[in-house]
Amino acid sequence: MFDGLSRTLCPAAKTFIGIGLLAAGAAQAQQPQESLDAMIARDLRTATAQYTTLLDKNAAQPGFPRTVEGGAVKLVGARDWTSGFIPGSLWYLYQATGEARWKTAAADYTARTAPAKFDKTQHDLGFMLGSGYGNGLRLTGDTSYRDAMLAGATTLVTRFNPKVGSIQSWDLWKNTSWAFPVIIDNMMNLELLMWAAKAANEPYYREVAIAHADTTLKNHFRPDGSSFHLVDYDPASGAVRARVTVQGNADASAWARGQAWGLYGYTMMYRETRKPEYLAQARKIAAFWMSHPRLPADKVPYWDFDDPAIPNTPRDSSAAAIASSALLELAGFGDAAEAKRYRGFAEATLRSLSSSAYLAKPGENGGFLLKHATGHKPAGKEIDVPLNYGDYYFLEALLRLKATLAAG
């Protein structure tokens, strides 16, 4: 997320879900292939046009654009887990263009997430603070952003249970049958703790992050590299009580975005620790994803790899964007053959996301970039819509790819 990009840049109806997207992809493939540099430039032009529209229509209102619901942009508050992705995307646009207007807008929206610094009711402070404050600190050096990040890290570690060896994801009001729920998504919030350990010279933050990653590695994954969504623990003994899903198709299924969170999270944790077991797990998840027989030809997954309705079920462009960004970083941790394989897969995925099948035209899609994302299908929420985190990781992947191309 915020630190990984810095490291990348410094050293170097059924129509939409099935046949329609495949046909669009086939038509795209028949056209002369656009260079990656030209594709990135075009995508960034689209992003500036779309986010100009998004801000013009929503910046004066309190809240953060999250998705489109009923034809209108849905705004959420600072305590929503997605609140940080709008300021994060704006920081990426400032990085990409150097235009002061994006810096001003990013700083405005970042400040709006300040209440998250002290929110002890959830685990998503890495998303909420790292995307905005983290990228703001990286790009401006503003020390107030550093202070906000440290406050958030101090808040986050209050959810750590040493008996379990994990940070609790959700409070128990979510489901009274759980005792200590931990979701795979939580891997993404460890980057905030790894950063804080270095920024404050406080090893405890790092110890908590590593303990959580180790516990997740032990209990969340199946032999094929896929992940359960949620593992529930006994908070007194640390024993596993259940392995279930909330946002996936079934307890034993592979929810696509969950697999992307795991891939990104273990790649990031390897970057921060150089623990070989984290790199091995990231490679195992990548292999599961890249070779899956139910991954469509355009490499944008269905919302769950095991939905029996495939191919007549929604895609998740947000999962594709997250995985692409992760694979571009993973490419830097192997030999030449591995780098070529991971980067090539990410490039192909980004070409699909940059096609008319997924990338909105200026003025459409509520001002968001990517179409055809899926948030929470079992709950009937956010199906075939744009999602602000899909845009964020798409922009991050584009900037990572641009840096890779510039480095040769």
Task: Please state, in angstroms and rounded to a whole number, the distance separating the CA atoms of residues 94 and 52.
Answer: 12
Nearest one of 267, 336, 259 to 302, comparing CA atoms: 259
What would the two tokens of residue 280 be? 């091995």
Structure tokens at 363: 């003025």
Mean pLDDT of 260-288: 98
Question: Do residues 299 and 320 make contact, with C-beta atoms less than 8 angstroms apart?
Answer: yes
Averaged confidence pLDDT in the chain:
94
Examine the pLDDT at 194 and tell me if it is beyond 60.
yes
Q: Domains along the chain?
A: 2-407 (1.50.10.10)
User: Would the pLDDT of 11 be above 90?
Assistant: no
What is the 8-class DSSP label of residue 366? G
* DSSP annotation of 193: H
List of residues 6+ apart from 200 with CB closer than 8 A: 150, 153
Instruction: Say yes or no to pLDDT of 137 above 80.
Output: yes
pLDDT at site 148: 98
Among residues 231, 372, 239, which one has the least CA distance to residue 296?
372
Q: Which of 24-38, 233-247, 348-362 has the lowest mean pLDDT?
A: 24-38
Query: In what order do the strands lie in the sheet containing 181-183?
Result: 181-183, 230-233, 240-244
Q: What residues act catalytically?
A: 124, 185
pLDDT digits (tens, 9 = 90+) for 198-214: 999 999 999 999 999 99
Which tokens in the block code for residue 44?
């960034």
Q: What share of the chain is helix, strand, coil (3-state, %, to 5)?
A: 60, 10, 30
Q: Are 82 and 108 in contact (CB under 8 A)?
A: no
Which residue, among 118, 48, 125, 120, has the nearest Cα to 84 in the 3D structure? Answer: 125
Q: Quickly state the pLDDT bin for 176 (edges 50, 70, 90).
A: confident
d(CA 247, CA 256): 10
Q: Which is nearest to 300 in space by CA: 365, 348, 247, 236?
A: 348
Give the per-residue SS3 of 252-295.
CCCEHHHHHHHHHHHHHHHHHHCCHHHHHHHHHHHHHHHCCCCC
pTM of the model: 0.94
Average pLDDT over residues 328-356: 97
Cis peptide upstream of residue 162 (ω within 30 degrees of 0)? no
d(CA 231, CA 220): 7
- Phi, psi (5° rounding) for residue 155? -70, -45
pLDDT above 90 for 18: no
CA distance linking residue 64 with residue 73, whole number of Å: 10
Length of the chain as a residue count = 408
Residue 303 has pLDDT above 60, yes or no: yes
Question: Could you tell me the CA-to-CA distances from 164 to 176, 219, 231, 302, 383 in Å, in that order?
Answer: 19, 11, 11, 33, 34
Distance CA 37, CA 339 (A): 19
Q: What is the pLDDT of residue 227?
A: 98
Strand, helix or coil for residue 344:
helix
CB atoms within 10 A of CB 57: 14
